[in-house]
């Protein structure tokens, strides 16, 4: 990510970009429409459903170019400008196309003092890109994010708004990249409660394969 | 009665009250503010209107207000400063503004410092300079220098949001007035704030033009120069123009406005608040309706297509009228002309023994909305109807002309040909006397006598809007030729000016050779030797107000700056 | 200025504390297991026992002295009483705040993963107590996996008839809807959360009116944190009296401590409130990593003022003691930092967080957060000057208490207190000159 305070330039999104998706593609399936109707019914006014529908659209189309945002607005029945304002407010909505896998590395707070930046820099050199960029093969986008609520397992990252990969080391990062390159998704991992380790002998969930026990965090080499 | 204390002054009030900020503004207690607008929700986001607020402390047991040793009420102030725009008024409230509180002064200054750190401070090239709330308040309440030593955030500039509005996001202070306008007032929903944190700014979503018919209102309500008019950009600085309160005339709403004039040219039109007519707003059509006042104006009267003097024009018109039978003359009044001008025309017709004038209806079905734009595209059809004029019917009028029933057509400030009331052919062999505003008038080539008329920005007169609201217009610019009434009115309408050659705004340039109807219609009458005693518009209205129930009470002083609502006209009219 | 509490632990015999929020039960997150452990029985009782009228439930919660676990520590039962009297024509809402984005906080996620039904049951009881027919769980968008897990369990709860129309044959009906956020810290702030739910840009609202008067869609609304609501079934099951006896007297109950940073065993721990910070570090979290010395503790998420090692002696984790010690309980997300920590760099990253997460609505926060980051960043780079430190404190004063929501305060406090408490470190990084950018004149004398 370019350092905003060093280069405080706000770039405007293109006013009239060519659509990425054709009108034929810009439709929700009947099943999706049923979901949308259900979400709409869950709020006193349909507006409440917009965030869910934006999520659905992002999963379907990969990102949210203007024509997709417009589609969501029409589907929910709210003004396009409102949907656009919402889409640009939240960081998890991709207004621009990203790589196939987005690596959101937490460098905030606890992660910072436990090597979050080390992981970020390791990924930068491993993937040959700077933070904020996408690899030439379109596979990976690297981003720096704020606290993801997994501070006890710092440093950590999230893959494409989904899986948390915690307790990162260079080896774990290597393994993650291999997994993703193979087209696989990393396993969901439960973080063990230290008290459970003492009282239950480790993870309490029988339906989870991977778990992460409590251990000292790495020493950070870099803090920015 | 309930009371509130503001800076040690006690104000009494009754019933529901607006916010504390509005309460103060209504009493001319100045409180700096940006985001608050009386017509819209109050997000309290600019944080400029902070004040100290307290309530009298009550004894827990007795509920009595506690007093100190000196007998003063003990006031418990909120620990935090509160935004007056979001604060309701309640009995006993004690308020300290910047006038009496260091804390408030300090907070207002601090806030302005924050507002300015990312502001480009490009006032020398900003259209808003001179009437910019940010500039004014920064002078008055702001810090002296800047402690900000970093690069300012750069944001999109010179962005055409739509055909008429240009955005400079760097100047924007994110008050959200513009987006609230499109979501709460016009409901076009064409604008939104995009992005987040210091990166945010107002924008249309991609692929959308900000082209709603009321788009330019955001220019006035923007408290900085972030939104400017594509049309007006860099034309003139505010202090180079005079502004005159009047009304707009593109339709029958009679929205209140200011005409901004420099060198006798109207350069822009902005809304003037009138809660009974247009509230705070003005349609874009109304704002852009000024070129016809400046350009396309006739050089002077003509007779048989040749330039003539006013006297020769009147004489020829009198000659034509005097030589036909009254019932072979047709008079067309005008929904564009004032009540006074139409009234004088009616008097002329009456004296010549002709039927009452008719007028052309300018209704374009579907062109209006249910807000400030009516389907009727003329400002004074109601005035004509109240004078007892009927609408001229194209199905009857053309055939009458063609059929040779009429020898003379007298047209007041309208254009029967372009409006389709009749064709050029129909007028073959008919003598036409025409009072007209513009050269492009399509009846003009057929006129035997043409008498250039003063437009709404050059005259004094009364217009009645679609809801029966009678309002005065005032001269915003001078015309050629001296007229005492006009000179006096010009002096009155442009505050702190006197309408004399010594006046700062007085200017010899661009004077149009035209006359108000209330000068030229009597001019014709006099040439006919007819007596037309009341030719002063003010006196005309005084007379109508007392003699014609359709105009009851509509004197100049009663109409004042905001007009009066006339009573409904009865069935008989 | 510093009041040094001489206090002992207020957590009693914490070593033998029996966990209740996260009791040691395998697969407790599954409905069957939760029920087998007596789950939903409290809710059944509330619906079927004459004693448990809605006001009685609220009363019991008030008895418990439960204070909100979302950061502000507001008494939960009292908050519930702010709801206006029921009017059948006016909908009312509950919102469970699962936005958990305060840096250093990660306990709600663990709670939702391991004991989601306790949260659901708490929500149902709260709805019952306040006659609410719709509850939203606002979960931050990043918790996608946990949302999936919870949705699956919620479906089971619906199937079992604990949620929906005429629950368990009673008159009481309520719906639970999970709302997925999409990446904005500010959505944790209750009024911004309401705007977000309404499908708007998440702008905090001016208060008053408070949510109980004018909440979601303008209707009466109560907002509580996940952990707060999870305490409710326990309070009803074991009694408010029981709850109020756990931990610190004025801030009682079991609490989830999320300990991160330079300790040997970071993680989420359940203990009574009022634990000594030193006990939490040394005995609970296994002591400092690599035997390093403690430098600083941030006791309750990034906005709570940092405490130096010297300041934590005898300080316990409860609102009153922490306030006296110069900080706050916040979310109970504790960051422990050792002697090698670069506190200037750390503060720079904290200021970046608030700059990035300001909603941008109001002036002091939108502009101030960026200014703070600029200055701290300059100091970190060795380009600052000592005057900058005073300017920073000044700017904090210009932000605190002057904004729509408390994010600006949350951004200012770390700056104010970190500079106050680690001033030498900041000074050491500054240029001695008063003039920014001027060369240091070392050679003159
Ligand atoms: C900037 C800001 C962020 C907040 N984030 C959260 C959050 O992520 N989770 C939370 O439960 N409360 C958060 N809060 C506190 C909420 O506004 C609210 O006080 C809380 O949800 C009430 O629940 P409680 O009384 O049960 O603690 C935040 C407050 C502020 C000012
Ligand atoms: S453009 Fe003007 S009106 Fe709109 S938000 Fe910015 S300052 Fe306010
Ligand atoms: S204080 Fe910050 S986050 Fe809160 S409303 Fe203002 S700008 Fe938004
Ligand atoms: S600081 Fe990285 S997850 Fe909380
Ligand atoms: S006018 Fe009150 S905060 Fe803007």
Q: Are residues C212 and C101 in the same domain?
A: yes
Highest mean pLDDT among B131-140, B237-246, C326-335: C326-335
Quote the Cα angle for A63-B203-A19, to 5°.
35
**pLDDT-based confidence at C1, cuts 50/70/90?**
very low
**Domain contains C364:** yes
Whether residue C6 has pLDDT greater than 80: no
CATH at C45? 3.40.50.11540
Alpha-carbon span C439 to C432, nearest angstrom: 10
The answer to whether the pTM exceeds 0.90 is yes
Alpha-carbon span C326 to C312, nearest angstrom: 10
Residue that terminates a domain, selected from C338, C367, C389: C338
Supply the pLDDT for residue B557. Answer: 96
- Provide CB contacts within 8 A for C425, sequence distance 6+: C343, C344
Whether residue B106 has pLDDT greater than 50: yes
Q: Are residues C331 and C375 in the same domain?
A: no
Alpha-carbon span B224 to B220, nearest angstrom: 9
CATH at C253? 3.10.20.600
Instruction: Output the average pLDDT for chain C.
Output: 95
Residue that terminates a domain, selected from C218, C244, C270: C244
Core vs surface per residue B179-195: b (16+ CB within 10 A) or e: bbbbbebbebbbbbbbb
Pocket test for ligand 5, best of B19, B42, B176 (most atoms within 8 A of CB): B42
Q: Where are the beta strands (DSSP E) in C23-180?
A: 93-98, 134-139, 175-180
Sign of the Cα torsion B424, B429, B434, B440 reads positive
Give B388-397 pLDDT, tens digit per residue.
Answer: 999 999 999 9
What structural domains and CATH numbers belong to chain B?
2-115 (3.10.20.740), 123-229 (3.30.70.20), 302-461+501-534 (3.40.50.740)
Q: Are residues C297 and C427 in the same domain?
A: no
> Which of A82, A152, A155 to mutate against chain C (most C CBs within 10 Å)?
A152
Q: Which residues line ligand 5 (CB under 6 A)?
A: B 33-36, 44, 46-49, 83, 85
List of chain C residues whose C-beta atoms are within 8 Å of the C-beta of residue A89: 184, 201-202, 359
Supply the pLDDT for residue C369. Answer: 98
What structural domains and CATH numbers belong to chain A?
30-89 (1.10.10.1590), 101-213 (3.40.30.10)
Q: Are residues C130 and C234 in the same domain?
A: yes
Q: Are residues C186 and C67 in the same domain?
A: yes
Supply the pLDDT for residue B505. Answer: 66
**Domain contains C1:** no
Supply the pLDDT for residue B570. Answer: 60
Q: At what angle do helices A30-41 and A50-61 cross, to 10 degrees?
A: 160
Give C149-192 pLDDT, tens digit per residue.
Answer: 999 999 999 999 999 999 999 999 999 999 999 999 999 999 99
Whether residue C7 has pLDDT greater than 70: no
Whether residue B181 has pLDDT greater than 70: yes
**Domain contains C420:** yes
For residue A5, which of C427, C13, C371 has the smallest C-alpha distance? C371
Whether residue C445 has pLDDT greater than 80: no
Q: Are residues C45 and C131 in the same domain?
A: yes
List of chains touching C (3+ CB pairs within 8 A): A, B
| Phi and psi at residue B352, to the nearest 5° | -90, 0
Contact (CB<8Å) C141/A148: no
- Provide CB contacts within 8 A for C13, sequence distance 6+: none
Residue C349: which H helix or E strand, with range? Answer: helix C343-357
Per-residue H/E/C for B438-477: CCCCCCHHHCCEEEEECCCCCCCEEEECCCCEEEEECCCC
**Domain contains C440:** no
Supply the pLDDT for residue C435. Answer: 53
For residue B260, which of B274, B272, B275, B276 has the smallest C-alpha distance? B272
**Domain contains C441:** no
C69 lines ligand 1 (CB under 6 A): yes
Q: Are residues C328 and C347 in the same domain?
A: no
CB C276 within 8 A of CB C9: yes
Q: Are residues C173 and C108 in the same domain?
A: yes
Sign of the Cα torsion C214, C215, C221, C227 reads negative
Kindly state the tokens that stand for A105. 């590395």
Supply the pLDDT for residue B501. Answer: 52
Question: Does B208 contact A at CB distance below 8 Å?
Answer: yes
Question: Does C209 contact B at CB distance below 8 Å?
Answer: no
Supply the pLDDT for residue C442. Answer: 45
User: What is residue B255's three-state secondary structure?
Assistant: coil
Supply the pLDDT for residue A178. Answer: 98
CB C255 within 8 A of CB C271: yes
Query: Which ligand lies nearest to the CA atom of residue A107 in the structure?
Result: 4
Nearest residue on chain B to C201, alpha-carbon basis? B193
Contact (CB<8Å) A114/C24: no
Contact (CB<8Å) B192/C401: no
Q: Where are the beta strands (DSSP E) in A74-207?
A: 101-106, 140-145, 157-159, 164-165, 189-191
CB A141 within 8 A of CB A98: yes
Give B28-71 pLDDT, tens digit per residue.
Answer: 999 999 999 999 999 999 999 999 999 999 888 888 888 888 88
CB-neighbour burial class of residue B324 (10 A; exposed 0-12, middle 13-18, buried 19+): middle
Question: Does C114 contact A at CB distance below 8 Å?
Answer: yes
For residue C213, which of C202, C200, C222, C203 has the smallest C-alpha distance? C222
Q: Are strands A140-145 and A101-106 parallel, antiparallel or unpaired?
A: parallel
Alpha-carbon span C360 to C362, nearest angstrom: 6
Supply the pLDDT for residue C443. Answer: 42
CB B523 within 8 A of CB B535: no
The greatest distance separating any two alpha carbons of chain B, rounded to the nearest whole angstrom, comes to: 98
Is the ipTM above a cut-off of 0.95? yes
Q: Are strands B94-96 and B159-160 parallel, antiparallel or unpaired?
A: unpaired
Q: Are residues C204 and C331 in the same domain?
A: no
Alpha-carbon span C263 to A224, nearest angstrom: 22
CATH at C423? 1.20.1440.230
**Domain contains C162:** yes
List of chains touching B (3+ CB pairs within 8 A): A, C
Alpha-carbon span B553 to B541, nearest angstrom: 9
What average pLDDT values come out for chain A (224 residues) when binned by 10 residues?
85 95 98 98 97 98 98 98 98 97 98 98 98 97 98 98 97 98 96 96 94 94 92
Q: Are strands B242-247 and B227-229 parallel, antiparallel or unpaired?
A: unpaired
CB C109 within 8 A of CB C258: no
Could you say which DSSP state residue A192 is in? P
Give C303-337 pLDDT, tens digit per residue.
Answer: 999 999 999 999 999 999 999 999 999 999 999 99
List of chain B residues whose C-beta atoms are within 8 Å of the C-beta of residue C374: 150
For residue A199, which of C117, C37, C26 has the smallest C-alpha distance? C26
Supply the pLDDT for residue B146. Answer: 87
Q: Which domain holds residue C324?
A: 249-338
Question: Does A42 contact B at CB distance below 8 Å?
Answer: no
User: What is residue A214's three-state secondary structure?
Assistant: coil
Cα B153 from chain centroid (whole Å)? 37
Q: Are residues C79 and C95 in the same domain?
A: yes
The B residues from 194 to 233 touching C (CB cutoff 8 Å) are: 195-200
Contact (CB<8Å) C402/B111: yes
Residue that terminates a domain, selected from C194, C219, C244: C244
Q: Are residues C106 and C138 in the same domain?
A: yes
Kindly state the tokens that stand for B32. 């700096």
The predicted model gives B190-195 an average pLDDT of 98
**Domain contains C326:** yes
**Cα-based torsion angle of the residue sequence B101, B102, B105, B106 in order, rounded to the nearest 10 degrees:** -150
Number of domains in chain C: 3
- Render C37-48 in DSSP notation, one character per residue: TTTTHHHHHHHH
Supply the pLDDT for residue B240. Answer: 86
CA B169 – ligand 2 centroid, Å: 8
**pLDDT-based confidence at C444, cuts 50/70/90?**
very low
Q: Are residues C309 and C401 in the same domain?
A: no
Whether residue B203 has pLDDT greater than 60: yes
Question: Does C182 contact B at CB distance below 8 Å?
Answer: no
Sign of the Cα torsion C79, C85, C88, C89 reads negative
Whether residue B571 has pLDDT greater than 80: no
**Domain contains C397:** yes
Whether residue C441 has pLDDT greater than 60: no
């Amino acid at each position: 990510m370019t350092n905003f305070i060093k280069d405080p330039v706000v770039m405007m999104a293109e006013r009239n970009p060519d659509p990425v998706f054709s009108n034929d593609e810009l439709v929700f399936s009947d099943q999706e429409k049923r979901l949308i109707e259900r979400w709409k019914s869950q709020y006193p006014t349909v507006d409440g459903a917009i965030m869910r529908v934006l999520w659905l659209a992002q999963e379907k189309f990969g990102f949210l170019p203007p024509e997709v945002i417009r589609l969501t607005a029409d589907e929910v029945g709210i003004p396009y400008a409102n949907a656009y304002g919402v889409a640009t407010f939240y960081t998890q909505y991709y207004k621009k196309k990203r790589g196939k896998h987005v690596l959101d590395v937490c460098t905030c707070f606890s992660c910072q003092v436990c090597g979050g930046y080390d992981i970020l820099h390791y990924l930068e050199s491993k993937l040959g890109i700077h933070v904020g960029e996408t690899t030439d093969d379109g596979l990976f986008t690297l981003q720096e994010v704020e606290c993801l609520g997994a501070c006890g397992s710092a440093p950590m990252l999230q893959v494409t708004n989904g899986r948390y990969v915690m307790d990162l080391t260079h080896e774990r990062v290597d393994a993650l990249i291999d997994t993703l390159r193979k087209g696989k998704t990393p396993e969901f991992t439960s973080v063990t409660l230290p008290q459970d380790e003492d009282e239950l002998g480790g993870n309490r969930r029988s339906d989870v394969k991977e778990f992460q026990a409590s251990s000292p965090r790495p020493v950070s080499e870099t803090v920015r | 009665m309930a009371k509130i204390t503001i800076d040690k002054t006690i104000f009494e009030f009754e019933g529901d009250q607006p916010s504390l900020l509005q309460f103060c503004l209504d009493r001319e207690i100045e409180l700096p503010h940006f985001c608050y607008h009386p017509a819209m929700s109050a997000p309290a986001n600019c944080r400029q209107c902070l004040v100290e607020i307290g309530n009298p402390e009550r004894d827990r047991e007795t509920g009595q207000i506690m007093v100190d040793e000196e007998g003063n009420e003990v006031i418990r102030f909120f620990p935090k400063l509160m935004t007056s725009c979001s604060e309701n008024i309640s009995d006993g409230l004690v308020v300290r503004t910047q006038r009496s509180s260091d804390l408030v002064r300090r907070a207002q200054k601090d806030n302005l410092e924050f507002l300015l750190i990312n502001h480009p401070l490009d006032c020398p090239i900003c259209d808003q300079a001179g009437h910019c709330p940010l500039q004014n308040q920064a002078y008055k309440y702001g810090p002296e220098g800047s402690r900000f030593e970093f690069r300012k955030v750069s944001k999109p500039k010179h962005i055409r949001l739509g055909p008429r509005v240009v955005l400079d996001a760097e100047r924007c202070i994110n008050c959200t007035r513009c987006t609230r306008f499109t979501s709460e007032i016009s409901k076009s929903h064409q604008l939104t704030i995009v992005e987040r944190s210091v990166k945010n700014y107002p924008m249309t979503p991609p692929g959308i033009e900000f082209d709603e018919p009321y788009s330019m209102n955001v220019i006035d309500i923007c408290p900085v120069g972030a939104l400017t008019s594509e049309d007006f950009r860099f034309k003139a600085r505010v202090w180079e123009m005079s502004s005159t309160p009047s009304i707009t005339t593109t339709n029958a709403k009679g929205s209140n406005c200011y005409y901004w004039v420099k060198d006798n040219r109207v350069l822009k039109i902005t809304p003037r608040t009138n809660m009974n007519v247009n509230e705070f707003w003005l349609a874009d059509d109304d704002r852009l309706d000024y070129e016809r006042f400046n350009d396309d104006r006739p050089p002077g009267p003509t007779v048989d297509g040749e330039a003539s003097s006013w006297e020769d024009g009147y004489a020829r018109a009198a000659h034509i009228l005097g030589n036909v039978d009254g019932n072979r003359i047709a008079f067309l009044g005008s929904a564009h002309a004032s009540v006074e001008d139409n009234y004088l025309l009616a008097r002329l017709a009456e004296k010549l023994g002709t039927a009452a004038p008719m007028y052309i209806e300018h209704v374009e079905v579907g062109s209006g909305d249910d807000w400030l734009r009516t389907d009727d595209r003329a400002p004074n059809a109601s005035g004509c109807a109240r004078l007892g004029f009927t609408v001229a019917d194209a199905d009857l009028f053309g055939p009458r002309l063609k059929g040779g029933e009429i020898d003379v057509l007298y047209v007041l400030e309208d254009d029967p040909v372009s409006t389709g009331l009749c064709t050029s052919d129909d007028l073959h062999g008919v003598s036409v006397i025409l009072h007209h505003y513009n050269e492009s008038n399509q009846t003009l080539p057929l006129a035997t006598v043409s008498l250039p008329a003063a437009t709404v920005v050059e005259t004094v007169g009364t217009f009645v809007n679609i809801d029966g609201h009678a309002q005065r217009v005032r001269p915003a610019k001078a015309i050629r030729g001296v007229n005492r009434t006009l000179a006096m009115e010009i002096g009155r309408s442009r505050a702190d000016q006197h309408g004399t050659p010594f006046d700062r705004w007085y200017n010899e340039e661009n004077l149009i050779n035209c006359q108000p109807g209330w000068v030229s219609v009597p001019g014709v009458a006099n040439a006919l030797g007819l007596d037309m005693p009341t030719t002063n518009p003010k006196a005309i209205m005084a007379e109508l107000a007392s003699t014609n129930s359709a105009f009851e009470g509509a004197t100049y002083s009663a109409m004042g700056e905001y007009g009066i609502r006339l009573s409904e006209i009865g069935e008989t009219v | 200025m510093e009041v040094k509490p001489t206090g002992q632990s207020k957590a009693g015999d914490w070593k033998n504390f029996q966990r209740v929020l996260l009791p040691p039960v395998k697969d407790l997150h599954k409905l069957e297991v939760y029920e087998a452990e007596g789950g939903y029985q409290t809710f059944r009782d509330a619906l079927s026992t004459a004693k448990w009228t809605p006001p009685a439930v609220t009363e019991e919660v008030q008895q418990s002295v439960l204070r909100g676990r979302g950061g502000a520590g507001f008494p939960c039962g009292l908050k519930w009483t702010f709801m206006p009297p029921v009017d059948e024509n006016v909908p009312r809402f509950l919102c469970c705040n699962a936005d958990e984005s305060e840096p250093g906080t990660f306990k709600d996620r663990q709670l939702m993963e391991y004991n989601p039904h306790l949260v659901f049951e708490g929500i149902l009881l709260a709805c019952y107590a306040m006659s609410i027919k719709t509850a939203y769980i606002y979960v931050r968008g990043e918790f996608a996996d946990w949302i999936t897990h919870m949705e699956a369990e919620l479906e089971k709860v619906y199937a079992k008839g604990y949620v929906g129309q005429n629950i368990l044959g009673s008159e009481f009906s309520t719906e639970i809807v999970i709302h997925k956020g999409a990446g904005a810290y500010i959505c944790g702030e209750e009024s911004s959360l309401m705007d977000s739910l309404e499908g708007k840009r998440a702008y905090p609202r001016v208060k008053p009116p408070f949510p109980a008067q004018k909440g979601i869609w303008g209707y009466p609304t109560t907002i509580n944190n996940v952990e707060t609501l999870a305490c409710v079934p326990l309070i009803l099951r074991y009694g408010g009296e029981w709850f109020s006896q756990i931990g610190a007297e004025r801030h009682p109950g079991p609490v989830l401590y999320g300990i991160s940073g330079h300790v040997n065993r970071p993680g989420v721990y359940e203990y009574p409130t009022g634990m000594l910070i030193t006990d939490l570090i040394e005995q609970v979290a296994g002591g400092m990593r690599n035997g390093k010395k403690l430098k600083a503790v941030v006791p309750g998420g990034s906005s709570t003022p940092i405490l130096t090692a010297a300041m934590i002696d005898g300080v316990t984790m409860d609102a009153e003691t922490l306030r006296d010690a110069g900080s706050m309980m916040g979310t109970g997300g504790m960051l422990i930092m050792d002697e090698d920590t670069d506190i200037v760099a750390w503060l720079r990253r904290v200021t970046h967080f608030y700059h990035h997460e300001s909603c941008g609505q109001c002036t002091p926060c939108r502009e101030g957060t960026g200014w703070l980051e600029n200055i701290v960043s300059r100091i970190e780079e060795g380009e600052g000057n000592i005057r900058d430190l005073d300017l920073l404190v000044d700017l904090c004063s210009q932000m605190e208490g002057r904004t729509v929501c408390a994010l600006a305060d949350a951004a200012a406090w770390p700056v104010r207190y970190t500079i106050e408490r680690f001033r030498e470190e900041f000074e050491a990084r500054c240029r001695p000159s008063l003039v920014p950018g001027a060369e240091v004149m070392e050679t003159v004398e």
